[in-house]
Structure 1
Amino acid sequence: MTTECLPISSLPGISAIFRDYAESGALTGARPTGADAATDARDMALLRRCYPSDPFSYHWAKAAPELPQEHREKLVAELLRQAEAHNAGESAKVAIGKLRDGAAAVVTGQQVGLFGGPLLSLLKAATAIRKAQEATRISGREHVAIFWLATEDHDLAEVDMVDLPTKTEIEEIKLGLKVERPVPVGNIRVDSVGQDALDAAIDHASELIAWGPVAELLRECYAAEGATLASAFARLLASIFAEFGLILIDAASREVHALGASTLRSAIEQVDTLDAALLQRTKELEGAGYHAQVLVTPGHSLLFLIDENGARLPLRRVKAEDGTTQWKAGMRLYTTADLLAILEASPERLSPNALLRAVMQDTILPTSAYVGGPAEIAYFAQSAVVYKAILGRVTAVLPRLSATLISPEIGKLLDLHEVSFEQVVAARTIDDLALRLGARAMPIEGKRKIAAVGNAMDTELNALTEYMTAMSADLGRTAGISANKMRYQMDRLRRMAARFELEKETSLRKHATAMMLELFPEGHLQERLLGGIWALSKFGEALPELLVQNASQECPGHRVIRF
């Protein structure tokens, strides 16, 4: 096995603020590349306000809050109850016991996607485990890894699916779960589609991952009596990382919300202050050329309300007829007193949005650091002002392991065609990659002739354009346009020659298809699209340990791991 570390900026679709945070050294004072000094100073000052902890040091390891012992006892009791429900192993229960004794936590989390969701869920868990191990070693204070199950989200379509590769395409498996209203997804039973439909989906996934132990584990978790999206996901993750003591927490329970009630109360009582701070931070981010990850508008709030019918509805502030501020969820109005009464009687009915979730999480847990993906880290830039207003501090946020796993058979194809992972990503589509392989397969004599003609033509066209420009600027522009047309025709001839080789050698398209489906499926990084169960089945039972090992600090970018 070999590994390669690529700069995070070499990956497509990375937000500017995540790139700058990951590569500029927010605390070390390193300057972003390609900007003037004044811009650099402004951006660095903003990054330090958004992210006060350096992601590539362990200063955060001694910064976890001290929670009252009564709070810890209640937290431990709830975590042990959930551990029993998730069939967690002894290592997880030992880790929960460490929380009672004063341990800090490295926390991560993800939506409870069908059949475990995409590979990135495993990468997050592995990173939290590794950071907790290293923080314990470096700081001398015990750290445990906690995975926050985002069961309160109501976007059912986003979690009712998993993508798995075949030899020719990516297949999307769905249960087809349906609800009458937007409800928290965690409690939706997977057999609500009918036992036959559930069995068919499990069998289909098992066939695509070649049956075996992973398929058996999948059935054990998702075909269990009364299994929900949350419980099945939790059982799967607990089993995968059983030996590492990963703690799982379902955020939707009444007990968890009661522990975080102070933050929910602050979101109600300090709404004007929070609103102003978020609008100002959005203005600062946009002024620095960054994109605000979460849309913030006047009248918004950081809360959802679970109504009497179980629907999760956003709370917005509106002016009542008497000029007072009220809260609206669906078609119903609430006073601030109404919301505080609901919080007191049924705290689980108030649910945080994306910007408040992390703050509530760190009210409940003794968090040293949070491990997030690029999008999460981008919206932490906004969450920082909420942290400051409610908790008086900002938790460190660390990039999760970003990795592409290359199987031996795909590695052989890369070597055969002398193609790198970066070139596969740059090609973006199977057709473009196939053309690249066709061009490489062209006889050397043909390559030399085309290259010689192209180079000679460029030399002559450049000389001619310069000569015409000296005669007249208008003539020079016309010559430049004509020269570009000639170059286009030369490129067209290159493509035609490559396509001829491609059609002559049918295996080239098959090879391009195989490489693209594994390494950059449908124009996405492998980790963001392919199911984690595919990786577990493909790379074997040693994969969790391998991911934990590779989630260390020395590669701040993207790891390419060849088996």
Structure 2
Amino acid sequence: MMAPMEFQYIPAAELPHTTSLYRAFLEDFRSVSEFYSHSPSLAGVAQAAKEVRYPAATRAMVVERLRVQNDLFGSGRAVAHNLDRLGAGAVAVVTGHQLSLFSGPAYTFYKALTAIRLAEELTAAGTPAVPIFWLAGEDHDLAEVNHCFWPSGDGLERLELRSAEAKRGSVGAVRLGNGVVELVSRAAGKLQGPAAEFVGDALRASYTPEQSFASALGRLIARLLGRMGLILLDPLDPELHRLATPVFLRALDEHAALSEELRNRAAALVEHAFHAQVKVGEQGTLLFWTLHGQRLPVRSVGAKFSVGEHEFGGEEIRRAIEKVPIEFSGNVLLRPVVQDTLLPTVAYIAGPAETAYFAQVSVVHKHLLGRMPAIVPRASVTIVGPHAARLLDKYKLSVADVLGGSAKLRELMEREALPKALVEQFAAGEQAIREALQGLRGPLEKLDKTLLGALEHAEGKMLHQFQALEQKAGRASAFRAGLLDTHEKELSTALYPDGQLQERVHCLLPAIASRGLEFLGELSESIKPGSGNHIVVLP
């Protein structure tokens, strides 16, 4: 049994690359409330639950299809129980992600764990809720999902599945092919720790040549999170797609009104000094049509519509939607409305970029659905391994120091690399400079008050040069030891790879293997939905 993990928290608004809209969402929701329907608090989600109108026939059909899907994924008893609860009237806490190889970046799991945690909290507060993960495989960009970055003792390795079917259809339906066998073997061979065998077996059982990107990820998540009751949903199911037919028809028929409302919303965001995530043109319809294997936008051209090189009348497209709805899908602004037509969604667990999208999506929600779920930030996490922890301790650094960027990190490491006696001498020297210049303040003020500005300027320049000398001395000391470059690279790769948060690059599976299966449960319990805190997991 491993020792309990230690968790620390950093306000998410203090993380690098945080947009002004997301910072306002986290720190002052009232300032952005006009762009969303409900606050990200438990009370806001409970209020959203009161607005759900979900036909019994739709509920029965969706639960039936989800039973079939989750049985195929091998989800188990906890999921079957939650499907019973969904059938009996529970609401849904939904999240999802694209179908990246081996689950892709770690935040795929953080989204799922946040949904699980929020559903538990809602249920405990009196609103029965279940967590649902949307396996987003409608897109056609295979290059977005055919790889992951695998951390190990050797550093960070890009694993890419080159042999997957080179077809132009939805990535969710693309078969993995024989090349996945060697890739699974390579990934599993790098796993270490108490759960290495379990995670390796889960990979081998999930990622086999005949599986698709959707079914493989579904099987993997079912093995790792099924015991927590996470329901999986594959939207490429033809029966589920048929339930979205009315949404597609209205998006087509009312495209002009929707476009105008979206442009007005974009203007309102800009007026508040925020950035509109999606540019909406006058010809857009929010719809894609998959023709001859290509997913193409449907554009309005006068009284007709263009799809690639083809031109159609409105009635032609309406008949196609009614006949083969599986060929149609929504863009980033319509997809959430399709999702919330299929499900009794009260909260969507979103990343920072998605949260910004929803400032525009809310217009579409209210127009087509008459309601909108609460948008709740996903958990944001940095995991500190034993080696990174030793380096942080050696250089007296925090994770926040590493997230400050390479220049700041280097400066702190160089300063700490100095011998203690020399550090004390530099500190004494800096203090002596300050005291000497302070001693001149009184006489200069009596002589000519205008000289005080020159004194402050001189003090700033002298201290800057003195501190630069200290950094150079630290650099020289570290180079003599021959370790600084190596340690800086190791820390950055482990905690802030390529200037990005760890969760956006590292696959989580090696961490699960090294920390044990209890890790997922402990991490879930550390999540505080709606708080906006970044979790630092220490060894």
Q: Is the 8 A contact 2:376 2:530 kept in 1?
A: no
Q: CA deviation at 1:92?
A: 1.2
Q: CA deviation at 1:111?
A: 0.5
- SS of aligned partner of 2:199: helix
Match of 2:246 in 1: 262
Q: How far apart in 2 are the matches of 1:254 and 1:479?
A: 77
Decide which moves more: 437-446 or 330-339.
437-446
Match of 1:105 in 2: 92
Aligned amino acid, residue 69 of structure 1: A
Match of 2:525 in 1: 549
Matched, 1:337 2:315: yes
The number of residues matched between the two structures is 527
Match of 1:30 in 2: none
Match of 1:214 in 2: 199
CA distance change for structure 1 residues 80 and 199 in 2, over 3 Å: closer, same or farther?
A: same
Q: CA deviation at 1:21?
A: 0.9
Q: CA deviation at 1:484?
A: 6.7
- SS of aligned partner of 1:146: strand
Any gaps of 5 or more consecutive residues in structure 1?
27-43
CA distance change for structure 1 residues 477 and 416 in 2, over 3 Å: closer, same or farther?
A: closer
Q: How far apart in 2 are the matches of 1:2 and 1:373?
A: 24
Superposed, which structure 2 residues align to 1:275-290 within 5 Å?
275-290=259-274
Matched, 1:301 2:305: no
Q: How far apart in 2 are the matches of 1:81 and 1:242?
A: 15
Q: How far apart in 2 are the matches of 1:203 and 1:175?
A: 13
Matched, 1:10 2:14: yes
Match of 2:294 in 1: 311
CA distance change for structure 1 residues 99 and 460 in 2, over 3 Å: closer, same or farther?
A: same
Match of 1:186 in 2: 172
Q: Is the 8 A contact 2:175 2:211 kept in 1?
A: yes
Aligned amino acid, residue 12 of structure 2: I
Decide which moves more: 241-250 or 484-493.
484-493
Q: Is the 8 A contact 2:167 2:174 kept in 1?
A: no
Of 22, 26, 49, the residue aligned with 2:26 is 22
CA distance change for structure 1 residues 410 and 143 in 2, over 3 Å: closer, same or farther?
A: same
CA distance change for structure 1 residues 80 and 499 in 2, over 3 Å: closer, same or farther?
A: same
- SS of aligned partner of 1:354: coil
Q: CA deviation at 1:353?
A: 0.7
Match of 1:164 in 2: 150
Matched, 1:204 2:186: yes
Q: CA deviation at 1:477?
A: 9.8
Q: Is the 8 A contact 2:256 2:282 kept in 1?
A: no
Matched, 1:444 2:430: no
Q: Is the 8 A contact 2:377 2:530 kept in 1?
A: no
Of 37, 43, 62, the residue aligned with 1:58 is 43
Match of 2:106 in 1: 119
Aligned amino acid, residue 283 of structure 2: G
Q: How far apart in 1 are the matches of 2:159 and 2:320?
A: 39
Match of 1:246 in 2: 230
Q: What RMSD in Å do the two structures reach over aligned CA positions?
A: 2.7
Q: How far apart in 2 are the matches of 1:314 and 1:471?
A: 73
Q: How far apart in 1 are the matches of 2:530 and 2:245?
A: 39
Q: Is the 8 A contact 1:406 1:560 kept in 2?
A: yes
Q: CA deviation at 1:237?
A: 0.6
Q: CA deviation at 1:551?
A: 2.0
Q: Is the 8 A contact 2:63 2:83 kept in 1?
A: yes
CA distance change for structure 1 residues 457 and 304 in 2, over 3 Å: closer, same or farther?
A: farther
- SS of aligned partner of 2:285: coil
Match of 1:35 in 2: none
Q: Is the 8 A contact 1:147 1:246 kept in 2?
A: yes
Q: How far apart in 2 are the matches of 1:214 and 1:387?
A: 39
Matched, 1:425 2:378: no
Superposed, which structure 2 residues align to 1:444-463 within 5 Å?
444-454=420-430, 457=433
Match of 2:338 in 1: 360
Q: CA deviation at 1:410?
A: 2.9
What TM-score comes out, normalization by structure 2 length? 0.91
Q: How far apart in 1 are the matches of 2:433 and 2:268?
A: 50
CA distance change for structure 1 residues 549 and 357 in 2, over 3 Å: closer, same or farther?
A: same
Matched, 1:273 2:248: no
Aligned amino acid, residue 239 of structure 1: R
Q: Is the 8 A contact 1:401 1:550 kept in 2?
A: no
Q: CA deviation at 1:162?
A: 0.4
CA distance change for structure 1 residues 482 and 203 in 2, over 3 Å: closer, same or farther?
A: farther
Q: Is the 8 A contact 2:155 2:493 kept in 1?
A: yes
Decide which moves more: 363-372 or 252-261.
252-261
Q: How far apart in 1 are the matches of 2:294 and 2:41?
A: 41
Alpha-carbon displacement from aligned partner over 1:206-243 (angstroms, at most 9, x marks no partner) = 233335321221111112x5111111011001111121
Of 70, 77, 81, the residue aligned with 1:83 is 70
Q: Is the 8 A contact 2:164 2:175 kept in 1?
A: no
Match of 1:33 in 2: none
Q: CA deviation at 1:181?
A: 6.3
What TM-score comes out, normalization by structure 1 length? 0.87
Alpha-carbon displacement from aligned partner over 1:91-122 (angstroms, at most 9, x marks no partner) = 21221122221111110010010011111011
Q: How far apart in 2 are the matches of 1:373 and 1:509?
A: 33
Q: Is the 8 A contact 1:520 1:526 kept in 2?
A: yes
Alpha-carbon displacement from aligned partner over 1:405-464 (angstroms, at most 9, x marks no partner) = 2234433332333211111111x23x7635533321312332233334445556778979
Q: CA deviation at 1:169?
A: 3.7
Aligned amino acid, residue 106 of structure 1: V
CA distance change for structure 1 residues 168 and 478 in 2, over 3 Å: closer, same or farther?
A: farther
Of 401, 405, 409, the residue aligned with 2:379 is 401
Q: CA deviation at 1:178?
A: 6.4
Matched, 1:562 2:530: no
CA distance change for structure 1 residues 546 and 217 in 2, over 3 Å: closer, same or farther?
A: same
CA distance change for structure 1 residues 156 and 75 in 2, over 3 Å: closer, same or farther?
A: same
- SS of aligned partner of 2:169: coil
Q: Is the 8 A contact 2:105 2:508 kept in 1?
A: yes
Q: CA deviation at 1:59?
A: 3.5
Q: Percent of counterpart pairs with the same letter?
A: 31
CA distance change for structure 1 residues 276 and 467 in 2, over 3 Å: closer, same or farther?
A: farther
Alpha-carbon displacement from aligned partner over 1:318-375 (angstroms, at most 9, x marks no partner) = 23xxxx2x22221111221121111100111111111111111001101111111111
Any gaps of 5 or more consecutive residues in structure 2?
none
Q: How far apart in 2 are the matches of 1:472 and 1:332?
A: 79
Q: How far apart in 2 are the matches of 1:522 and 1:169?
A: 13
Aligned amino acid, residue 402 of structure 1: S
Q: CA deviation at 1:471?
A: 8.4
Decide which moves more: 160-169 or 81-90.
160-169
Decide which moves more: 391-400 or 439-448.
439-448
Q: Is the 8 A contact 1:119 1:529 kept in 2?
A: yes
